[in-house]
């Protein structure tokens, strides 16, 4: 494996990595390859399925290394190995993108970190909702889940999407408390509301944007069933906004997606967030604005890959 990777890298002008574990289904290398080929660059993002941080730290020293997509379980662990963070990386407390800059005074290579997941969530809404003012601006939002994606969603909703408050829907009260505590400590945790029962949900102001950050499985425990019923209260409300279903593997056509469509919400698939976070990554790596990148080709490549998974 090591020899094969070295051989591939030797043929490239520049290379990066997708560094994580359990990444075989990831569309990230395809997305970036589409961009590099379109721009005529002999670049590639190599999958590095590993839990070995020391291996990655060694590989990133290669002069031809341009950066990496960092995914689970390394998004927090990588922080201590970076020289600096962007405001988004610092605020979310997790990094999905490593990029390189040079210290102007010493010429030393600096390893920088950012979080483009927040941009992916933001753009998934703004690129797919024609009238944000009537759909979700200045209304409460809902975040379903309690992991890293949920924290990114809270940041995007509070920072850019004009959410008046955010309802947190989760089977686990301790996870909700952790999200509230962390977001508060980082300065964007005001007006977060733990919504734990159907009765509470029915008494609340109607929501405009929903971000679902949970795997696609049928609710099993009592807590999971209650959390799904709470979400359905918001989906059945009179105002129909937009929902981003972050889960897209093995299929984006999840139970939550189907219920949302049936109830009349604008459904945004998780691949939209993937596309826009990936384009944002190449903004850092290529030093080009997103509008200079082949956005339509990327969309077509991801859609083609998605249609394969439906066969």
pLDDT of res. 179: 94
Angle at 309 between CA 215 and CA 249, to 5 degrees: 15
Tell me the DSSP string of 32-62: HHHHHHHTT--EEEEEEE---HHHHHHHTTS
pLDDT of res. 1: 65
Answer whether 267's CB lies under 8 Å from 257's CB. yes
Share of the chain above pLDDT 70, in %: 99
Angle at 177 between CA 172 and CA 179, to 5 degrees: 100
* pTM across the whole model: 0.94
For this structure, is 75 an active site residue?
yes
What domains are there in the chain, each with its CATH number?
A: 2-115 (3.40.50.10860), 119-270 (3.40.50.720)
Angle at 57 between CA 55 and CA 63, to 5 degrees: 110
Structure tokens at 181: 């505590």
**pLDDT confidence bin for 237, thresholds 50/70/90:** very high
Mean pLDDT across the chain: 95
Picking from 187, 186, 202, 196, the residue whose alpha carbon sits closest to that of residue 234 is: 202
Name the catalytic one among 75, 165, 288, 291: 75
Distance CA 155, CA 219 (A): 27
In the chain the beta strands, taken as DSSP E runs, fall at 14-20, 43-49, 65-70, 84-85, 97-102, 109-114, 141-144, 166-169, 192-194, 209-212, 242-245, 266-269
């Amino acid at each position: 494996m090591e020899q094969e990777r070295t051989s591939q890298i030797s043929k490239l002008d520049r290379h990066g990595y997708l560094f994580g574990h359990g990444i075989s289904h990831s569309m990230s290398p395809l997305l970036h390859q589409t961009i590099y080929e379109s721009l005529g660059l002999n670049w590639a993002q190599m999958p590095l399925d590993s839990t070995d941080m020391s291996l990655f730290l060694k590989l990133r020293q290669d002069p031809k290394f341009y950066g990496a997509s960092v995914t689970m379980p390394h998004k927090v662990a990588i922080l201590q190995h970076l020289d600096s963070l962007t405001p988004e990386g610092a605020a979310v407390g997790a990094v999905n993108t490593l990029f390189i800059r040079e210290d102007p005074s010493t010429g030393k290579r600096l390893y920088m970190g950012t979080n483009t997941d927040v941009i992916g969530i933001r753009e998934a809404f703004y690129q797919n909702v024609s009238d944000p003012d009537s759909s979700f601006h200045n209304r409460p939002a809902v975040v379903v889940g309690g992991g890293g994606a949920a924290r990114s969603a809270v940041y995007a909703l509070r920072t850019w999407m004009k959410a008046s408050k955010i309802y947190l829907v989760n089977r686990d009260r301790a996870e909700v408390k952790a999200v509230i505590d962390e977001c508060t400590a980082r300065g964007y945790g005001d007006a977060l509301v733990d919504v734990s029962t159907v009765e509470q949900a029915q008494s609340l102001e109607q929501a405009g944007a929903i971000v679902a950050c949970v795997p696609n499985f049928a609710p099993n425990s009592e807590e999971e069933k209650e959390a799904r019923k709470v979400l359905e209260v918001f989906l059945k409300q009179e105002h129909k906004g937009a929902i981003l279903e972050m889960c897209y593997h093995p299929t984006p056509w999840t139970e939550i997606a189907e219920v949302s469509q049936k109830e009349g919400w604008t459904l945004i698939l998780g691949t939209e967030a993937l596309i826009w976070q990936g384009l944002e990554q190449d903004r850092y790596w290529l030093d080009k604005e997103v509008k200079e990148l082949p956005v339509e080709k990327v969309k077509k490549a991801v859609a083609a890959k998605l249609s394969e998974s439906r066969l």
